[in-house]
Amino acid sequence: MTTSIPTPSFTDPAPAERLERAGAALRAHNFTVEILDDTAAARSRVNELIPAGASVFTGASETLRLSGIDADINDSGRYESVRSRGTTMDRGTQMREIWAMLSCPDVIVGSVAAVTETGSLVAASASGSQLPGYAGAAASVIWVVGAQKVVPDLSAALHRAEHHCLPLESERAMGVYGQPSALNRILILNAEPHPGRATVLLLREAVGF
């Protein structure tokens, strides 16, 4: 007789005790963590954290789009939108300048595929455009993370990225770009070497992939 292994839910919001456990572990690894109720609170907090006129790059993220944070940054005129500026540059002759601009803004805002209860963040990407800024090139970074992205450990985080996030992102990419996404690059952040640089806004509700 074989016993099936239950598939973990990657869509249900983690309960309060798991959020607190993840938050405490992240703080122990020098990430600044705020646990907020919902996307409205995160939207307000992001606006408070970023000074007017700062250069800001938003990593591609359903969390940012659905919350309105992406539009706040790229369409409001309050900030220097790195993403908007990049669309006006020639990718044939200015790719080095584009990559430098994407990698080293004043602030990069995005999300991650998973956050572990042991205090790590996992970001996955097809192009890798947001990963240099996440890793340390940007002066500061803000991640907005839905409660459904909290997982027990790194193994579960990688499984979530490949088997949950990738199919959903591929479906989205097919609709927008006419081609599927790919798990080409994965960044694991186990700690922040510069306290005060990296902020995780951990939500009590589910949002995004």
What pLDDT is stored for residue 17 in this prediction? 98
**Where are the domains positioned within the chain?**
16-203
CB 26 within 8 A of CB 115: yes
Amino acid at 128: G
pLDDT tens figures, 20-52? 999 999 999 999 999 999 999 999 999 999 999
More confident residue, 9 or 55: 55
The encoded tokens of residue 96 equal 């080095």
| pLDDT exceeds cutoff 80 at 54 | yes
Q: What is the pLDDT of residue 73?
A: 97
pLDDT, residue 79, reads: 97
For residue 10, CA distances in Å to 155, 190, 203, 208 come to 13, 21, 15, 11
What is residue 58's predicted lDDT score, i.e. its pLDDT?
98
Give backbone dihedrals phi and psi of 120, rounded to 5 degrees, phi first: -120, 155
Phi, psi of 47 (to 5 degrees): -60, -35
**Distance, CA of 188 to CA of 186 (rounded, Å):** 7
| 209 close to 164: Cβ distance less than 8 angstroms | yes
Give CA–CA dist 128/143, Å, rounded.
Answer: 16
**Partners of 109 in the β-ladder:** 58, 142
pLDDT in tens, 70-129: 999 999 999 999 999 988 888 889 999 999 999 999 999 999 999 999 999 999 999 999
Q: What is the pLDDT of residues 147-192, one digit of tens each?
A: 999 999 999 999 999 999 999 999 999 998 899 999 999 999 999 9
DSSP 12: S
CATH class of segment(s) 16-203? alpha beta
Rounded percentage of the chain residues whose pLDDT exceeds 90: 90
How much is the pLDDT for 8?
A: 60
pLDDT of residue 29: 98
